[in-house]
Amino acid sequence: MNTGWKLFLANKGAVFGALLLLIIAFAGIFGDKIYAVSASDIVAAPMSPPGEGLPLGADYLGRDVLAGLLHGAGTTLIIGLAATLTTVIIGVILGAAAGFLGRRVDNLLMRITEFFQVLPPILLAMVLVAVFGPKIWNVILVIGLVTWPPLARLTRGEFLRLKQAEFVRAEYAMGSGSLNIMFRVLLPNASPPLIVAAALNIGTAILFESGLSFLGLSDPDVASWGYMIGSSRDYIFDAWWSVIFPGMAIFLTVLAISLVGDGLNDALNPKLRQR
């Protein structure tokens, strides 16, 4: 067992978070088979409280809240992962170019990064979703477009730190091209903090989607925990369970991701690995 894996397992919170994420992912994949109730079917009187036949009650339309949670688990995780992938692609490419090429390219890309970073991300996301429409892939793309600047700055910093290292100079001496050095030499060596940041960004993406859904700016044809909260927000005092339970699911998922990110930081931290 390598040192990184040992350090991860030594972090009890990270192990708990990983187990919790596995349970949530299992619910998203197999939940509809274990609890064979459609999330869109009206199965009871509107706002029926939790009880026999309805473990978590029904929402304002009479839809089973538990079925919505199970169906929404997979959607919520997919939104978080896909939006984070968008963030990583944009942030790593721009950050790597800025850190490696330097000078005018660095100045230009950092000015663009600062422009996006000073804009309130939730407001920018609201405007973009309103312009392009609340379809699920538009929401994913918008979340990626408003969350990439921190990752770009982190990537730039790592490239600036590493590009003067001896092994990089050796690659130049052997005639390696710039793209080869950027993505086959520098990027793997810069990846530990980027992996941690990307893992934590999944939780950020889930919270963004939940916020947009709460404001009615998400795809109504796709079941997600954020949509469940947003559609039931007007009935929180009459049917609290239709809002509280999806909210708890989001909280536990983001908490689990944060704990796993903390464990990854321990596992990939070279200072801890050398102890």
pLDDT tens track for 219-262 = 877 888 988 888 888 888 889 999 999 999 999 999 999 999 88
CB atoms within 10 A of CB 108: 13
Nearest alpha carbon to residue 76 among 198, 199, 213, 232: 213
* Overall domain count for the chain: 1
Please state the φ and ψ torsions of residue 53, each to the nearest 5 degrees.
85, -20
Determine the structural domain holding residue 182 and report its residue range: 3-273
Nearest alpha carbon to residue 72 among 274, 238, 231, 268: 231
- Per-residue pLDDT, averaged over 26-34, amounts to 86
What amino acid is encoded at 170 in this protein?
A
pLDDT band at 1 (very low <50, low <70, confident <90, very high): very low
CATH of the domain at 125: 1.10.3720.10
pLDDT tens track for 37-60 = 888 888 889 999 998 788 999 999
Q: Are 99 and 188 in contact (CB under 8 A)?
A: no
Q: Is the pLDDT higher at 112 or at 221? A: 112
